[in-house]
Amino acid sequence: KIILVEPGTYSGSLSVGSNKTIIGTGPGVRIDGNISISGSGVSNVIIRNLSVRGPKCDSYDACRAGSDAVYMGNGAHHIWLDHLDISDGQDGNCDATQGADFITVSWTKFYYTYDKEHRFSNLIAGGDDETASVGKLHITYMTSEWGDRVDSRQPRGRFGNIHMLNNYHHTGGGQIHGVGKDMALIAEYCVYEENRSIWTDMGSPRGWRGIGNIGSGSNLNASQGSVFEIPYAYTPLA
């Protein structure tokens, strides 16, 4: 099913089932709330051309206990998020945990509009003991942007094979890529207007590799450990 959404502001939570494409028909399609793509039977989902803004939360604990602006998990797979504007997630802007798999995020902007304590944008797997995610979490982020007030998790993760391609990071945050347990991350032809190393070892990663990156960040094209063979053909932008 293809669901066309007219411009306007819609409040609440949207839970998306299998075999759905949801497309904003023009500028100004906004969800004040969250989107959930969750469940082992949920697959073949496309979300395009809309904005998602999480409700405001007032303290670190309240934000941490809140909802992600966009959540993918519990076995959901084959998901494409394209041309989205995602901000102010209470816990995270766009998290993928509990065995989510085969995800592409393209032409999407992540940011926060206010200075709350908990500004952690993109988490992949929620803990080192998340056995449902072992061998899963194949995720590509391409032509996307991490901007205002993002403090960390661009992304931060475990277990997955993560390909970052032609992205733009200009957050001034405390952490860019946090690479944790059994995770491998390749970042290539990205721009980092940051003031620190783009890599943080979060404990027992498989490894990381930077290729062709530019900007003011440090260790842009460093490598550590082993990564993975990218399973599709592509041509990076300059």
Exactly one of 153, 156, 158, 206 is catalytic; name it.
153
- Within 13 Å, how many C-alpha atoms sit on residue 42's CB side? 23
Any catalytic annotation for residue 53? no
Give the other-Cβ count within 10 Å of 7's Cβ. Answer: 12
Sequence-distant (≥ 6) Cβ neighbours of residue 16 within 8 angstroms = 22, 35, 36, 37, 42, 45, 47
Could you give the residue numbers annotated as active site? Answer: 153
